[in-house]
Amino acid sequence: MQLAAKHFKASASKALLDAQLQKALGNVEKGFIGKRQKAADALPEFDALRDNARDIKNHVLAHLDLYLEEYERNVVAAGGHVHWAETAEDARRIVLDICQKANARTVTKGKSMITEEIALNDHLTANGIEPVETDLGEYIIQLRGEYPSHIIAPAVHLNKDQVEGDFRRVHTHLPEGRDLSEPVALLSEAREVLRKRYFAADVGITGANFLIAETGTSVIVTNEGNGDLTQTLGKVHVVVASIEKIVPTLEDTAQILRVLARSATGQDMSVYTTFSTGPKRPDDPDGPGEYHVVLLDNGRSAMLGTEYQDMLRCIRCGACMNHCPVYHAVGGHAYGSVYPGPMGAVLTPSLNGIEETGQLPNASTFCGRCEAVCPMRIPLPKMMRHWREREFERNLTPLTSRYGIRAWAFFAKRPRLYRLAVSFGMPVLSLLGGKSRRLHSLPFAGGWTRHRDLPAPEGRTFLQEWAQREALKQGSGH
Amino acid sequence: MTSSETRVARQPRVGLFATCLVDLFRPSVGFASVKLLQDAGCEVHVPVAQTCCGQPTYNTGDRADTREIAEQVIEAFEGFDFIVAPSGSCAAMLKKHYPGLFKGNADWEDRAQRFSDKCHELVSFLADVMMVRDTGAALSARVTYHDSCSGLRELGVQQQPRKLLANVGGLELHEMKDSDVCCGFGGTFCVKYSDISNAIVTKKVGNIDASGADMLLAGDVGCLMNMAGKLKRLGSDVEVRHVAEVLAGMTDQPPIAGSGK
């Protein structure tokens, strides 16, 4: 996708006026928050598990080189291939190369944010290979020519009737009069259409939720079973994953799995948790003939040792955006980046640079709800603030904000001057409030008064009043 | 009062950090805070060298100015036994964020840490440190309480105001849906992202209305001004006040953005 993060404000304002979108966004709050809470409440050790998950990933990040090498050794030992991709371009080239060697005409894909990050579908299409998304949400947005608006629910910005319209538009081989009024009918139709594609596909591409160093295993968690069909029915299975997906052991994987689905959908476990180690062995009943892993860096190793390192703990559960009031208001597309919501506001500047993406870490009230629910305890608001600091240092902060804040600081650092200014200013503002005690509009305060009244100050400041009372007490010999 | 004889030998000396919004817009919250602290047995001081806690600069990424403001606050307040602010977000700034500003400067970092250890949000200070159970106030009203984000998530202010409000004679608490969800204020966020802020506060105001309460309380004047401004723009009659005003029994001032009865 084209990075459009610098248009965030305009996109957000448009999203706020989009009635269809607003209706669909209601499902984010209804669908995720209560379920996560219920799952967390049902597990007394949930918070201890979060601490544990955080510690596992911190350990990995401190020794990432060693675990990556161990992982590579074990993939190779199981008969697989590991490809190192420093950039998105490298990864695209490697995947295309594998597909071409397999003479692939169509490839099926399990849901994967990494392949979104490297814009793989466009690259395959441009080279004459048809990618077929098999996750229901991904399939729907592929039909629409869109990109995911949520990292685990890519089509959450759509309503059922929109999907029905798309299916009728595209599935023209099916009877026109068929009943698609129930969601399950849509699901069955997609399943039927996709089933044929699995068998026709030459290559299956998936992401990975975990890469296990001790066994060379990749793990995906899904709810539809499409990932399993994608990776076992093709002749070649390609896993595209970023380097921070590494965990040391199977035991560590099990630990983090306990917080992943609970935080994401409120399930104890996803319906499918699939472990893949190497290609089909002689005694295996099925499996791919070849097994490739493309390990993507794309800016991540540069985050190690910086104040953004904690972001590499992220397991892509989506809890941060599910609980974000800004995401609830504008949806994922407004962010103009592959990764929306709070995790995207930190990760996108790391991957794409702050110059074009500065809007994202600024568009937060710092309410802290994302950090409060993050299973990996990533301090998201703190890191968004660090991005604002990088902007400020490099004079990238918009001038009105910059001058405004410097002016405030000038007075705030000079208490006497500040007292003088406010002792005149506040009574005037108070008078402007009139009998209603509020202002409907005020020059230079349009950002506030466009949508709400400004409460008038009471009059003199607290410190003025306090000083006077104290003086009176002294005077009366108190 | 003889109760002071049963307390510690010396009254705790409290520096009241009024916060800029209370100082400039809502002095009655300052006086309510003084009364609550004095009733709880504190000796209250209001240093004149106070302006702002530094959040606006801090959250805009201006670390250098924030550090200078923090030094000024620490110098003015570090001599007190406790520093108390009638705001969750300003208290969290003092308590949770000041030491980090001085990373790499061991002297100041230590000094900031000692200062931060003594900082508290008003209502949790009354309930958790001064062990106040009943402020002796009475008010016949149906109120709903909004949990301001920083106080709730950075300082754990949640049960304290509710317990104290439960002992205000005649007061009924009607919880709103999603009382712990942001009101959309967010400091400069509400003017920088005015449309998004509006969408968030509109949802909040809907929940306030649906609670059936006739008075909205919270512990942060910023959030209160945002919610009051929206309620009034929409023509609502809900009265908006800082929780300290009610706990201190000082509701004679007109409510925020309202002309009173």
What pLDDT does residue B4 have? 44
**DSSP secondary structure of B30-90:** HHHHHHHHHHTTPEEE--TT----SHHHHTTT-HHHHHHHHHHHHHHHTTSSEEEES-HHH
Specify the CATH number of the domain A43-302: 3.40.50.10420
Interchain proximity A367–B153, CB inside 8 Å: yes
In this complex, the residue of A329, A366, A447 whose CB is nearest that of residue B199 is A329
Q: Does B104 touch chain A (CB under 8 A)?
A: no
Residues B18 and B113 in one domain: yes
Interchain proximity B61–A397, CB inside 8 Å: yes
Residues B57 and B118 in one domain: yes
In a domain, B256, yes or no: no
- Distance from the A443 Cα atom to the nearest Cα atom in chain B, whole angstroms: 13
Q: Is the pLDDT of residue B81 over 70?
A: yes
- Distance from the B164 Cα atom to the nearest Cα atom in chain A, whole angstroms: 24
Residues B115 and B18 in one domain: yes
What gap in Å lies between CA B176 and CA B213, rounded to an integer? 9
What pLDDT does residue A85 have? 98
Residues B121 and B50 in one domain: yes
Nearest to A130 by CA among A220, A208, A197: A197
- Please state the rounded mean pLDDT for residues B3-22: 80
b/e for A345-355, b at 16 or more Cβ within 10 A? bbbbbbbbebe
In this complex, the residue of A405, A458, A462 whose CB is nearest that of residue B60 is A405
Interchain proximity B233–A452, CB inside 8 Å: yes
Domain total of chain B: 2
In this complex, the residue of B60, B186, B196 whose CB is nearest that of residue A329 is B196
* Greatest extent of chain A over all pairs of C-alpha atoms, in Å: 100
Residues B121 and B138 in one domain: no
Residues B156 and B235 in one domain: yes
User: Which residue, of B127, B145, B161, is where some domain finishes?
Assistant: B127
User: Which residue, of B66, B100, B127, is where some domain finishes?
Assistant: B127
Interchain proximity A411–B257, CB inside 8 Å: no
What pLDDT does residue A477 have? 59
What's the CATH code of the domain at B160? 3.40.50.11810
What pLDDT does residue A299 have? 97
- Please state the rounded mean pLDDT for residues B184-190: 96
In a domain, B252, yes or no: no
Interchain proximity A438–B232, CB inside 8 Å: yes
Q: Does B191 touch chain A (CB under 8 A)?
A: yes
Provide the edge-to-edge strand list for the sheet that holds A217-222.
Answer: A246-247, A210-212, A217-222, A272-276
Interchain proximity A388–B61, CB inside 8 Å: yes
Nearest to A209 by CA among A319, A344, A112: A112
Interchain proximity B182–A365, CB inside 8 Å: yes
For Cα atoms A365, A371, A373, give the angle at the middle one, nearest 5 degrees.
120
Per the DSSP assignment, residues forming a β-bridge with A221 are A273
Nearest to A340 by CA among A321, A359, A354: A321
**pLDDT digit string, tens, across residues B119-135:** 999 999 999 999 999 99
Residues B13 and B109 in one domain: yes
What pLDDT does residue B113 have? 98
Residue A473, Cβ density class (10 Å: 0-12 exposed, 13-18 middle, ≥19 buried)? exposed
Question: In this structure, is the dihedral angle defined by the CA atoms of residues A187, A193, A196 and A197, taken in order, positive or negative?
Answer: negative
Nearest to A136 by CA among A265, A22, A225, A236: A225
List all residues of chain B from 50 to 89 with a beta carbon under 8 Å from chain A.
Answer: 50-52, 54, 56-63, 65, 68-69, 72
Nearest to B122 by CA among B44, B178, B228: B44
- Please state the rounded mean pLDDT for residues B19-36: 98
Interchain proximity B48–A419, CB inside 8 Å: yes
Interchain proximity A397–B60, CB inside 8 Å: yes
Q: For chain B, give the percent of residues with pLDDT over 70.
A: 96
Q: Is the pLDDT of residue B261 over 90?
A: no
List all residues of chain B from 116 to 175 with a beta carbon under 8 Å from chain A.
Answer: 149-150, 153-154
Q: Does B216 touch chain A (CB under 8 A)?
A: no
What gap in Å lies between CA A99 and CA A94, rounded to an integer? 9
Interchain proximity A455–B228, CB inside 8 Å: yes
Look at strands A438-439 and B239-242 and give their pairing.
unpaired
b/e for A138-161, b at 16 or more Cβ within 10 A? bbbbbbbeebbbbbbbbbbbbeee
What pLDDT does residue B260 have? 59
Interchain proximity A461–B59, CB inside 8 Å: no
In a domain, B257, yes or no: no
What pLDDT does residue A3 have? 83
Interface test with A, best of B34, B35, B53, B182 (most A CBs within 10 A): B182
What pLDDT does residue B188 have? 94
Q: Report the residue count for chain B.
A: 261
Q: Which residues of A touch B34 (CB under 8 A)?
A: 466
| Residues of the domain holding B216 | 134-247
Spatial CB neighbours of A335, under 8 Å, sequence gap ≥ 6: A5, A8, A11, A341, A344, A345, A348, A360
Interchain proximity B60–A388, CB inside 8 Å: yes
In a domain, B36, yes or no: yes
In a domain, B197, yes or no: yes
What pLDDT does residue B19 have? 98
pLDDT in tens, chain A (478 residues): 678 999 999 999 999 999 999 999 998 998 899 999 999 999 999 999 999 999 999 999 999 999 999 999 999 999 999 999 999 999 999 999 999 999 999 999 999 999 999 999 999 999 999 999 999 999 999 999 999 999 999 999 999 999 999 999 999 999 999 999 999 999 999 999 999 898 899 999 999 999 999 999 999 999 998 898 899 887 999 999 999 999 999 999 999 999 999 999 999 999 999 999 999 999 999 999 999 999 999 999 999 999 999 999 999 999 999 999 999 999 999 999 999 999 999 999 999 999 999 999 999 999 999 999 999 999 999 999 999 999 999 999 999 899 999 999 999 999 999 999 999 999 999 999 999 999 999 888 889 999 999 999 999 999 999 999 999 988 875 4
Residues B165 and B242 in one domain: yes
**DSSP secondary structure of A65-76:** HHHHHHHHHHHH
What pLDDT does residue B3 have? 47
What pLDDT does residue B2 have? 44
- Distance from the B116 Cα atom to the nearest Cα atom in chain A, whole angstroms: 18
Q: Position of tokens 């305890």?
A: A377
What pLDDT does residue A444 have? 80
**Residue A375 near residue A53 (C-beta atoms within 8 A):** yes
User: Which residue, of B91, B109, B127, is where some domain finishes?
Assistant: B127
Q: Residue B165 is which amino acid?
A: L
Measured between CA atoms, the residue of chain A closest to residue B60 is A388
Look at phi and psi of residue A31 and say left if phi exceeds 0, alpha if psi is from -120 to 50, else beta: alpha
Structure tokens at A98: 């594998």
Residues B29 and B102 in one domain: yes
Interchain proximity B196–A408, CB inside 8 Å: no
Domain with CATH 3.40.50.10420 in chain A: 43-302
Q: Coil, helix or strand for B10?
A: coil
Number of cross-chain residue pairs from A and B with Cβ atoms under 8 Å apart: 210
Structure tokens at B106: 């061991």
Interchain proximity B198–A450, CB inside 8 Å: yes
In a domain, B259, yes or no: no
Interface test with A, best of B46, B93, B197 (most A CBs within 10 A): B197
Residues B27 and B114 in one domain: yes
Interface test with A, best of B16, B23, B53, B74 (most A CBs within 10 A): B23
What gap in Å lies between CA A95 and CA A205, rounded to an integer? 9
Interchain proximity A365–B186, CB inside 8 Å: yes
What's the CATH code of the domain at B14? 3.40.50
pTM listed for this prediction: 0.96
Interchain proximity B184–A365, CB inside 8 Å: yes
**pLDDT digit string, tens, across residues B153-169:** 999 999 999 999 999 99
In this complex, the residue of B23, B52, B225 whose CB is nearest that of residue A461 is B23
Interface test with A, best of B59, B66, B158, B237 (most A CBs within 10 A): B59
- Distance from the B5 Cα atom to the nearest Cα atom in chain A, whole angstroms: 21
Residues B112 and B153 in one domain: no
Interchain proximity A451–B184, CB inside 8 Å: no
Residues B111 and B176 in one domain: no
**pLDDT digit string, tens, across residues B199-257:** 999 999 999 999 999 999 999 999 999 999 999 999 999 999 999 999 999 999 999 99
